[in-house]
Copies of this chain bind each other. A is one copy, B any other.
Amino acid sequence: MTRYALLIEYDGGPFVGWQRQGSGLAVQQVLEEAAAKLNGGVPPLVQASGRTDAGVHAEGQVGLVELPGDLSPVRVREALSFHTKPHPVVVTRAAIAPEGWNPRFSAVSRAYRYRILNRRARPALEAGRVWHVPVPLDAGAMHRAAQRLLGRHDFSAFRAAACQAKEPVRTLDRLDVSRFGEEVVMVAEARSFLHHQIRNLIGTLALVGHGRRPETWPRQVLEGRDRTRAGPTAPPEGLCFTGVSFAAALDWV
């Protein structure tokens, strides 16, 4: 048996999320059924760095699969991208997984991008890829409010009720908000995030961007540790899991 690390891109739109749910197709399932073709017809487990929600996209999800024999990583990459057709899920790179490496527990940093289309007209070209906010947002105010949230904190105020993490303390390393023309783009980085943490942070910062709350408010919400005081959860389609860092670089092909 050989263990392979996989770099995975997908359009989250048609899926119930990374993980299997009661009904509907999961990204994990598409990959496991593709990997079954290399595993005597039996779907092997594919583990991932992050269990993205329904509608959330990925450019840089990282997975792990164990397969019989000693196929080259190129062969595994090509075969999996072929067998995931016609679903919008591809393996862009593969590597031999180092001894003891795990996509979830070996990750030292995860990065996400959130895109807001901030104009009156609904999206035509970027529908399903952005959150449409028709009222003008002050990206500078959102950025300044975000900087007050960096560091190690109890993020209970931004945590989904369904969050399964044992404890709510996380270290937020980066939360940048920038405007590019009609788009407001946020980049978030941390070793790990709580369930819905980024989407709850974005929904809260958007209220600052609207001018409905002051720049100091998100920090107050953080300190209150009360989810009911934060802003709404921003919709999933604006979110993309862009990448994962590991202590030792993988030998991707």
Contacts and interface: CB of A to CB of B under 8 A. Distances in A.
A127 interface: yes
A122 interface: yes
Interface stretch (A42-50, A87-95, A183-191, A214-222): A87-95
A79 B123 CA distance: 15
A57 B126 CA distance: 11
B11 A127 contact: yes
B122 A81 contact: yes
Copies of this chain in its oligomeric complex: 2
Contacts of A11: 124-125, 127
Interface in A179-234: none
A57 to B, nearest CB: 6
Contacts of A81: 120-122
Contacts of A89: 124
Nearest to A240: B125
A33 interface: no
Given A9-B125, A11-B127, A120 B78 contact: yes
Contact of A77 (B120, B125, B240): B120
A78 to B, nearest CB: 7
A146 to B, nearest CB: 25
Contact of A125 (B10, B91, B120, B123): B10
Contact of A92 (B10, B85, B92, B121): B121
B92 A125 contact: no
A137 to B, nearest CB: 17
19 contacts: A9-B121, A9-B124, A9-B125, A10-B124, A11-B125, A11-B127, A77-B121, A78-B120, A81-B120, A85-B122, A88-B124, A90-B122, A90-B123, A90-B124, A91-B121, A92-B119, A92-B120, A125-B129, A125-B240
